[in-house]
Amino acid sequence: MRTEQEMMDLFLNYAKGNERIRAVTLEGSRTNPYAPKDWLQDFDISYHVTDMDAFIGNPSWIDAFGERILLQTPEDMAMFPAELGRRFSYLMLFADGRKADLTLIPLDEAEEYVKEDKLMTVLLDKDGVFPEVPPPTDEDYRVKRPSAEFFADCCNEFWMVSTYVAKGLWRREILYAIDHLNQIFRPMLLKMIEWKVGLDTDCSVSIGKNGKYLERFMTGPDWRKLLSTYRNETYEDVWNAMFTAIELFRATAREVAERMGFDYPEEDDRRVSAYLMRVRDLAPDATELI
């Protein structure tokens, strides 16, 4: 496997030898002083170029970076809509295990680009197009305190979607139930836990993409409860996951409410919890909720 320095030299030397590439920036976890360092970290590199078409029209230029296991060009895919505007990216997994996300950016977007993400550092600037860039920081990704409105909406969404999970389980439509649990119900729990982490740390930390650092900030029992909500092989698993999530949400939301001076919706909790228990205990052939 190529070393980190070998990879950086490879991208920089290519840029230095290509007149169309006028600047190089590094983004992502490799610029974050708080991110764990390991061999699986991507190299998030951007080339700021004068002629986009010259690169996009001749894709073989990326062969200079090594043998690939897989390539993805998101802006050229039919199934997923492009999201980068005029920019174009190459996601490359190399044969030696290294991975790079290399993005082409029109040079005239440099001033705009430097404002987009504080986890960015300039590696090469042939023409001095970039203004002075401060040291990279993850402050834009740190947990923020919720407003009273956000807190109320999170609670409301959590309790409402719990009824969809229960409906899917009673109807024996487990994929419907699991999708609502995974895509909406649990994310509200994770958001509430995130807010608690923010209060515990004075909003000085990031829990990372997809909550990947969350375990660091939770107690062992609460972490195990959270993990147990991902067990969903059987109907009983999903019922248990839902009620465990409710237990964890209730305790966390009450604490956040108390510390922030918010009102926790105790009546919603009581009424919906009773409803969910009745649905779970209802006979499969029942025609109405007793």
Q: Is residue 234 part of a domain?
A: yes
Q: Is residue 189 part of a domain?
A: yes
Same domain, residue pair 162 and 270: yes
Same domain, residue pair 157 and 263: yes
- Which of 88, 103, 136 delimits the end of a domain? 136
Cα distance between residue 141 and residue 90, in whole Å: 24
- Which pLDDT belongs to residue 55? 96
Same domain, residue pair 171 and 101: no
Q: Which phi and psi angles does 239 have, rounded to 5°?
A: -60, -45
- Which of 114, 136, 158 delimits the end of a domain? 136
CATH number of the domain bearing residue 160: 1.20.120.330
Angle at alpha carbon of residue 80, lines to 78 and 86, rounded to 5°? 85
Same domain, residue pair 126 and 146: no
Q: Is residue 265 part of a domain?
A: yes
Same domain, residue pair 32 and 15: yes
Give the range of the structural domain holding residue 38, as residue numbers without chain letter: 4-136
- pTM here is 0.85
Q: Tally the domains of the chain.
A: 2
Does the pLDDT value for residue 290 go beyond 60?
A: no
Same domain, residue pair 97 and 168: no
- Give the Å distances, CA to CA, from 153 to 147, 229, 276: 10, 22, 20
- Which of 136, 159, 187 delimits the end of a domain? 136
Same domain, residue pair 129 and 248: no
* For range 187-205, the mean pLDDT: 95
- Which pLDDT belongs to residue 283? 62
Cα distance between residue 9 and residue 1, in whole Å: 14
- Which pLDDT belongs to residue 282? 80
- Give the Å distances, CA to CA, from 74 to 39, 77, 78, 81, 90: 24, 5, 9, 8, 8
Q: What is the pLDDT of residues 97-128, one digit of tens each?
A: 999 999 999 999 988 888 888 889 999 999 99
Q: Which phi and psi angles does 12 have, rounded to 5°?
A: -70, -45
Same domain, residue pair 147 and 132: no
Same domain, residue pair 167 and 101: no
* For range 27-49, the mean pLDDT: 89
Same domain, residue pair 236 and 277: yes
Q: Is residue 289 part of a domain?
A: no
* Average pLDDT of the residues of the chain: 93
